[in-house]
Structure formats: structure tokens, C-alpha cells
Amino acid sequence: MEAGMAKYFATEAAYENATESVRIHGAYGYSREFDAERLYRDAPLLLIGEGTNELQRILIARQLIERYPA
């Protein structure tokens, strides 16, 4: 469960930071000369790889319910 939480947090943070980086760089953020473009292009793939974030949320919720039944 903790690994799923870490993966979920890391991929969401990477996507948000890549998006913000492109916003900060403005038009330069879309230029292939800068790393921001590559990070912005690759960030959505992190959300999909090794299980989508929606699936990670479901798995985390199931494991929390098993550990702490109401």
C-alpha cells in the first residue's frame, strides 16, 4: 500500500510540476531546446505507466479498508 501511495504522489507531483514549468517558461516551454518541453511531454506517461492513478487510488482504498475496518 505504501508503495502505491508513493507512486501516486510522485506521478501527480511530476505532472503538476511539469505543467507549471511550461507555464513559467511561456513559449520557451514548448521549444525542444529546453528540458521543460520533454518533461511536459513525458509527464502524462508517468500517470499511465505501472497502473493508472485511478487504479492506484482504488487499490489504496481497498487496503485501507482491510487494515482499518469500520
Which residues are part of the catalytic machinery? Answer: 50
Name, in order, each residue with C-beta under 8 angstroms of 64's C-beta and a sequence gap of 6 or more.
Answer: 1
* Interatomic CA distance for residues 49 and 19, integer angstroms: 18
Three cell numbers, residue 5: 501511495
Q: Which residues contact 17 (CB under 8 A, 6 or more apart)?
A: 39
